[in-house]
Amino acid sequence: MASTAYRTCPLCEATCGLELTIDEGHITRVRGDREHVLSKGFLCPKGAAIKQLVHDPDRLQRPLVRDRRTGDRREVSWDEAFAVVSDRMADVIGHHGRDALALYVGNPNAHTIAGGLYLVPLYRALRTRNRFSASTVDQMPKHVACALMFGHVLTIPIPDVGRTDFMLILGADPWESNGSLFTAPDLPGRLQALQARGGRFVVVDPRRSRTAAAADDHLQIRPGTDAYLLFAIVHTLFAQGLADTGAISSHVRGVDEVAGLATPFTPDAVSAVTGLDRDRIIELARALAAAERAVVYGRIGTCTVEFGTIASWLVDVINALTGNLDSPGGAMFPLAPHERRHTGTGRGFSMGRWTSRVRGLPEVAGELPVAALAEEIDTPGDDRIRALLTIAGNPARSTPNSHRLERALESLELIVSVDPYLNETTRHADVILPPADLARVPHYDFNFLGMGVRNIAVYSPPVLPPVPGTLDECEILARLTAVAAGRPAAASVEFHDELLSGALDQAVADPMSPVFGADAETLRTQVTGASPAERLIDTLLRSGAYGDGFDPDGCGLSLERLLSAPHGIDLGPLLPRIPEVLATPSGCVELCPPELAADVDRLRVGLFDRRAATVLIGRRQLRSNNSWLHNVPVLMKGKARCTLQVHPNDAGRLGLTDGGHAQVTSRVGTVIAPVEINDDLLPGVVSLPHGWGHDAEGMRLGVASAQPGVNSNVLTDELAIDPLSGNAVLNGIPVTVAPA
């Protein structure tokens, strides 16, 4: 008998509700959940493909251990796998110290309960300074900018698209990506609704993306130069007397300093470097100021560039200067159900508490730039990295200069990977620990419930029973934490308990919690949940901003309440949160943090830089997900998508033909890719999507290997970073292109 189950889609930040038909232990149909409070039935091709993803025959079910001499892999029991991990980790740490064991955590951690609850304790147990993540090939500039302005890395305002009149989008392509650092299922539909109610949106992108094509206006900017455009907008707001921080004025510091910094960046001065007409820049500034409610939003194209942190900062400077920060229809701060209100001040943010060994790059938010991972392994020295733990990451395809990184990986003494696939990265691993698939684990969005276009709460229990002999990722990470702390893997039992005690202790000690001052031991007896993770979530919900405070008669949130609401609970529109949301020492929005002001020198110098003739940018594709969904047959139908897009003028100049092949060479590598000629790109810019190149030896990716594509990160340069955040530059890479 078929049954219906509901679950949040974990594949992207839109977090759509899925309606799954289950028949004899299989997902037989996927539809958008029409009653879901936020997604209201929306579904994209990736969500629909979950059926094939969950039942992918290449997915690993049991741990694999590699024999270093023969290269053979064998399936082992979980006990044996953890015994190997424990022995070999102890060996590395015993011989070379704790920093010899590095950690890389990838993007799917942002979508799992395991990532939300168990990574921080694992970091603490590992005590390594060599922590890396996909954040430094992605959004680290936004974290740094927001931390300096608002006091905390996760205090990121998001566009209140449902109530705005004018939206400026830079370097984002939600028609393909479905949105990022901004949880709004069917964002294209929401932008069309904005147009339908008489509003407008404008896109800044070197490429006529699908989003740009749908926009009211498209500014085709030179890659890497958004910070100039944004500064010219700031300049114009001041020059024309349009700057007004509105309702938050008494909580903002540094307005005059920003005005001073903007002085050289006149629309005329930035016109050459951005390739944009001065009048259009002025027009844009005036439109932002004139709209009753407007919002600026920047994503990948503003982060993965050489001035990523400055651009990310200026996005919110403009939101503030146009009176749209923390204001309905502007950029607002969501309040997640597991979150508590803040006190309005805090210690602020500091970086550079340690530096990387080789390049001396500063630590940011507890991690080092992943662009420095290879050199930390392959540069001789007693304190180099000897072992790596990867969790839900594929750095061999996702991070710059892949060739160097893969060579470095092969030289390590130990690699342990928590990953369901034998892929480009895990083929180097000594031990692979595959987590149970998404249908067998519960779901709760620790990250994206705090980035939603409305405040909502939703929890999904597992939709299928566990496969015997498999392990949930929470348990895998708990056992790794025990091992990292020098305890036996079986100590995970006590460890789960310690986590719960920690969460209860924190709740009763926090004046902003509804259980402030209560007795933690009494509360513990009232916690509900079928697993350690559920008990933690129940604790966080009940002691959170909307919690029932452990009052069984209370009307607030609890796990039980969410279990009875499979389509989610709407907690209302975003509300103004300044000053409560701030965690800066001053208790104010720091519009002009000194760290950012200091970096503006670099931008000023760049005004007179000569740019490379041809530069490479990336692009996302609706039916891809970074490097890891190319093994799902339905997502691979149709013509090959991993093409080098080239403008007809460039194709003519370079002698390239549509369907022919081009050789693309950067400072660090060369690839040969099929050419697709179209006039979507700005001349002088070529585009290759990332996450391809599935032609390596020793993998188990039957479908992906048949249509491998080429790896664009063979071309990206590990030496090119945004210095403030350490984020890699992945867009605007100087290349030469020739017929192959």
Ligand X SMILES: Nc1nc2c(c(=O)[nH]1)N[C@H]1C(S)=C(S)[C@@H](COP(=O)(O)OP(=O)(O)OC[C@H]3O[C@@H](n4cnc5c(=O)[nH]c(N)nc54)[C@H](O)[C@@H]3O)O[C@H]1N2
Residue 47 as a binder of ligand SF4 (CB under 6 A): the answer is: yes
By CB under 6 A, residue 629 contacts ligand SF4: no
| # residues contacting Mo ion (CB under 5 A) | 1
Question: Using omega within 30 degrees of 0 as the cis cutoff, is the peptide bond preceding 442 cis?
Answer: no
Q: Which tokens go with 72?
A: 């053979």
Asked if residue 588 binds ligand SF4 (CB under 6 A), the reply is no
16 makes contact with ligand SF4 (CB under 6 A):
yes
- Cβ-closest position to ligand SF4: 47
**CA torsion angle for 313, 316, 322, 323 (degrees, to 10)?**
-140
Which of 6, 7, 11, 148 is in the footprint of ligand SF4 by CB under 6 A? Answer: 11
Q: Which of residues 694-713 bind ligand X (CB under 6 A)?
A: 712-713
Binds ligand X by CB under 6 A, chosen from 15, 164, 180, 236:
180
| Residue 228 CB, nearest approach to ligand X (Å) | 11
Choose the stretch contacting Mo ion; rule: CB under 5 A; options: 77-85, 135-143, 483-491, 647-655.
135-143
What is residue 557's DSSP assignment?
B
Rule CB under 6 A: choose which of 20, 27, 43, 464 binds ligand SF4.
43
Site for ligand X in 430-489 (CB under 6 A): 435, 473
Angle between helices 308-321 and 255-262 (to 10 degrees): 120
Binding status of residue 111 toward ligand SF4 by CB under 6 A: no
Say which entry of ligand SF4, Mo ion, ligand X, none residue 641 contacts (CB below 5 to 8 A, set by partner kind). none
Which two structure tokens, joined as six digits, stand for 294? Answer: 């407007």
Site membership for ligand X, residue 214 (CB under 6 A): no
64 binds ligand X (CB under 6 A): no
For ligand SF4, give the closer residue by CB, 15 or 211. Answer: 15
CA atoms of 232 and 279, how far apart (whole Å):
11
Angstrom distance (rounded) from CA 272 to CA 265: 12
Residue type, 67: D
Q: Exposed (0-12), middle (13-18) or buried (19+): which is 604, by Cβ within 10 Å?
A: middle
Residue (562 or 714) nearer to ligand X, CB: 714
CA proximity to 662, closest of 675, 650, 653: 675
DSSP at 680: T
46 binds ligand SF4 (CB under 6 A): yes
* DSSP designation for 417: E
Tell whether residue 14 is a contact of ligand SF4 (CB under 6 A). yes
Give the whole-angstrom CA distance, residue 688 versus residue 642.
7
CB of 233 to ligand X, least distance (A): 13
List residues bridging with 452 in a β-sheet.
183
Q: Is 614 left (phi over 0), alpha (psi -120 to 50) or beta?
A: beta
Residue 47 contact partner, candidates ligand SF4, Mo ion, ligand X, none, CB within 5 to 8 A by sort of partner:
ligand SF4
138 interacts with Mo ion by CB under 5 A: yes
Q: Tell me if 173 contacts Mo ion by CB under 5 A.
A: no
Closest alpha carbon to 537 in 183, 117, 17, 10: 117
Which residues are registered as beta bridge partners of 294? 166
| Main-chain phi, psi angles of 190, to 5 degrees | -70, -35
Residue 44 near ligand SF4 by CB under 6 A: yes
Distance separating alpha carbons of residues 362 and 40, to the nearest angstrom:
44
Residues in the site for ligand X, rule: CB under 6 A? Answer: 12, 106-108, 112, 134, 137-138, 170-174, 176-178, 180, 204-207, 209, 221, 223-224, 226, 299-302, 304-305, 391-395, 398, 418-421, 423, 435, 473, 617-622, 624-628, 690-691, 712-713, 716, 730-732
Residue numbers at the binding site for ligand SF4 (CB under 6 A) = 9, 11-12, 14-16, 43-44, 46-47, 178, 185
Residues that bind Mo ion (CB under 5 A): 138
